[in-house]
Amino acid sequence: MTGDEFPPQLLDPHETLVVELTPAGRGAVAVVLAAGPDATRAVDQCFMAVRGRPLADAPNGRILLGRWGGPDGEELVVCRRDERHVEIHCHGGMAAVASVISQLERQGCRRILWQEWLRRTSADPIRTAAQIALSQAPTARTATILLDQYHGALATAIRAASEAISAGEWQRAGEVINAVLAHRDVGAHLTTPWQVVLAGPPNVGKSSLMNSLAGYERAIVSPLHGTTRDVVTTLTAIDGWPVRLSDTAGLRTPQDAIESAGVALATEAIARADMVLLVHDATCSTAIDEPASETTAAANEGTLSCLPERTHLIHVWNKIDLVANPWRSVLASEIRAGSPSERHGEKVVFTSAITGAGIAQLVNAISQAIVSVAPAAGDAVPFSTEQVAALAAASTAIASRNARAACRVLNSLLKKGTGSRNT
Ligand SMILES: Nc1nc2c(ncn2[C@@H]2O[C@H](COP(=O)(O)OP(=O)(O)OP(=O)(O)O)[C@@H](O)[C@H]2O)c(=O)[nH]1
Ligand SMILES: [Mg+2]
């Protein structure tokens, strides 16, 4: 997107476009590109070079200093790259860019976003998608993985699978595709955070834990039962993975309409979660023969019953600074439940939101659960639903030894306009 080349793949030859090439937001200098048959004329209408010569008379590549929008307009630099492409390098403030673009729109240019420009001018859909996703990567770790895909990791794996199919090496082709698909969950969360919900009975320390994990006082903490009513969210990174933490209302039989609405929101958040941290109060039932309070048992049962099978679950026994042997609480709760639940491959972590004990272990457990095997440097990772769907279709075609269908669907990932209607 530097202007060194302007491949015209999907550009309408009769249309002149205007696009901001530099990232959105303020900067020192912004670059706006006018592209199309009318680019030189449109810019000439807005720009007056210091030496007074029209842009149309300047040789390609000449950098011209001048003013935009009349003799008192902003001073900027214009460069005609070729007959159809003119770059305007203006002040990087948002108002300056908006003014340049709107004046070119008045000259008949059509504004598009840089993502659209990339899609129209790049022949490599994976590289384009990676470039767009990179601009939304929330952490260095996710950006590194996307950068690998930008530099060809995914495309190389797809080509390797195609070559294996052509050579009749079906097993190798299947292994290559399945190794890529093994990273589908990570790929789906490179720009979209994992949803981690703190749930459990009132007053067990959900909000306190949320604040410990977030590193600041995001949610109100109080000794009153039922303090949190709404779903309170914050974005953070755990081991470099983007995570949206949601603190929820304590689950119990609601005392009023507001609490009832809070419990309904909590239940919805749990149902949508990638992971639930089911928080228990380690001080509540240290005696094994002591019956659990009705609210605690009902809350835990309710939470578990609405948990989709795919959801990761960690039991967090909080307030361990107040008890001598927190395992007694776990044992007591398991005995009351009949048997330890194996349903979600559940983990148990002991914490104190007050002293910070166990918080590092909790962070570790969350990271391990959401990404059990992190991609190695340079690994192929699919990062869009279209890529995953195509790879899954390729895997099916490989399993049924359908070389034509497999290669067609893999090619559709590598090149624009090679997708098939009937695989
Ligand atoms: N000693 C001790 N107290 C804690 C700990 N975690 C939370 N508390 C206290 O427990 C009380 C309730 O904490 P909250 O974080 O508000 O609990 P909650 O689960 O969000 O409660 P609701 O919003 O009412 O459902 C507060 O007084 C906290 O200071 C802990 O690990 N140790
Ligand atoms: Mg709370």
Q: pLDDT per residue over 47-94, tens digit each? A: 999 988 899 999 999 999 999 998 899 999 999 999 999 999 999 999
Q: Whose CA is nearest to atom 7 of ligand 1?
A: 205
Ligand 1 binding pocket includes 220 (Cβ within 6 Å): no
Give the pLDDT score at 254: 83
Q: CA-CA-CA-CA torsion for 355, 360, 366, 369, nearest 10 degrees?
A: -130
Ligand 1 binding pocket includes 206 (Cβ within 6 Å): yes
Half-sphere exposure of 69 (CA within 13 A, CB side): 17
Instruction: Locate 351 and state its tokens.
Output: 């914490």
Q: What are the residue boundaries of the structural domains of the chain, listed by start?
A: 17-121, 125-183+377-414, 201-360
Ligand 1 binding pocket includes 139 (Cβ within 6 Å): no
How many other C-beta atoms lie within 10 A of the C-beta of residue 83? 11
Give the number of the ligand closest to the Cα of residue 208: 1
State pLDDT tens for residues 174-192.
999 999 999 999 999 999 9
- DSSP string for residues in 48-108: EETT---GGGSPTT-EEEEEESSTTSEEEEEEEEETTEEEEEEE-SHHHHHHHHHHHHHTT
Residue 417's pLDDT band, with cuts at 50, 70 and 90, is low
Bridge partner residues of 72 (DSSP): none
Q: Given 3-state DSSP classes, what are the helix, strand and coil percentages for the chain, each rounded to the nearest 5?
A: 40, 20, 40
Which atom of ligand 1 is least distant from the CA of 353? 31
Ligand 1 binding pocket includes 205 (Cβ within 6 Å): yes
Give the pLDDT score at 36: 95
Ligand 2 geometric centre to CA of 222 (Å): 8
Ligand 1 binding pocket includes 221 (Cβ within 6 Å): yes
Ligand 1 geometric centre to CA of 284 (Å): 13
Place of tokens 């899609």: 119
The pairs formed by 227-236 with CB atoms below 8 angstroms and a separation of 24 or more are 227/202, 227/203, 228/262, 229/258, 229/259, 229/261, 229/262, 230/262, 230/265, 231/265, 231/266, 231/269, 232/207, 234/210, 235/138, 235/193
Nearest to 312 by CA among 239, 365, 240, 359: 365
Identify the sign of the CA torsion 407, 408, 412, 417: positive
Query: For the domain 17-121, what is the CATH code?
Result: 3.30.1360.120
Ligand 1 binding pocket includes 202 (Cβ within 6 Å): yes
Give the pLDDT score at 299: 62
Ligand 2 geometric centre to CA of 356 (Å): 17
Residue 144's pLDDT band, with cuts at 50, 70 and 90, is very high
Ligand 1 geometric centre to CA of 354 (Å): 9
Helix (H, G, I), strand (E, B) or coil at 267: helix
Nearest to 118 by CA among 129, 102, 103: 129
Lowest mean pLDDT among 132-141, 246-255, 257-266, 285-294: 285-294
Ligand 1 binding pocket includes 207 (Cβ within 6 Å): yes
CA-to-CA dists, residue 286 to 279, 295, 320, 329, angstroms:
16, 16, 11, 5
Ligand 1 geometric centre to CA of 206 (Å): 7
Give the pLDDT score at 343: 43
Ligand 1 binding pocket includes 231 (Cβ within 6 Å): no
Average pLDDT, the chain: 89
Per-residue pLDDT at 2 exceeds 60: no
State pLDDT tens for residues 312-348.
999 999 999 998 887 776 766 665 555 444 444 568 8
Lowest mean pLDDT among 1-5, 8-12, 187-191: 1-5
Ligand 2 geometric centre to CA of 210 (Å): 9
The residue-averaged pLDDT of 30-50 equals 96
The pairs formed by 334-338 with CB atoms below 8 angstroms and a separation of 24 or more are 335/288, 336/291, 336/292, 336/297
Ligand 1 binding pocket includes 250 (Cβ within 6 Å): yes
Give the pLDDT score at 324: 85
Q: Whose CA is nearest to atom 24 of ligand 1?
A: 226
Residue 353's pLDDT band, with cuts at 50, 70 and 90, is very high
Ligand 1 binding pocket includes 246 (Cβ within 6 Å): no
Ligand 1 binding pocket includes 358 (Cβ within 6 Å): no
Ligand 1 binding pocket includes 372 (Cβ within 6 Å): no
Residue 258: enclosing H or E segment and its boundaries?
helix 257-272
Ligand 1 binding pocket includes 227 (Cβ within 6 Å): yes
Nearest to 393 by CA among 158, 130, 151, 125: 158
Give the pLDDT score at 300: 66
How many other C-beta atoms lie within 10 A of the C-beta of residue 402? 16
Q: Residue 79: which residues within 8 A CB-CB, separation 6 or more?
A: 61, 62, 63, 64, 86, 87, 89
* Ligand 1 probe mutation, 203, 209, 245, 352, most atoms within 8 A of CB: 203
Ligand 1 geometric centre to CA of 243 (Å): 22
Residue 134's pLDDT band, with cuts at 50, 70 and 90, is very high
- DSSP string for residues in 92-114: -SHHHHHHHHHHHHHTT-EE--H
Give the pLDDT score at 187: 98
How many other C-beta atoms lie within 10 A of the C-beta of residue 215? 9
Rounded to whole angstroms, the Cα distance separating 266 from 38 reads 56
What is the fold, at CATH topology level, of the domain defined by 201-360? Rossmann fold (3.40.50)
Ligand 1 binding pocket includes 319 (Cβ within 6 Å): yes
Tell me the backbone φ, ψ of residue 404, rounded to 5 degrees: -60, -50
Bridge partner residues of 349 (DSSP): 316
Residue 309's pLDDT band, with cuts at 50, 70 and 90, is confident
Give the pLDDT score at 302: 65
* Ligand 1 probe mutation, 206, 208, 259, most atoms within 8 A of CB: 208
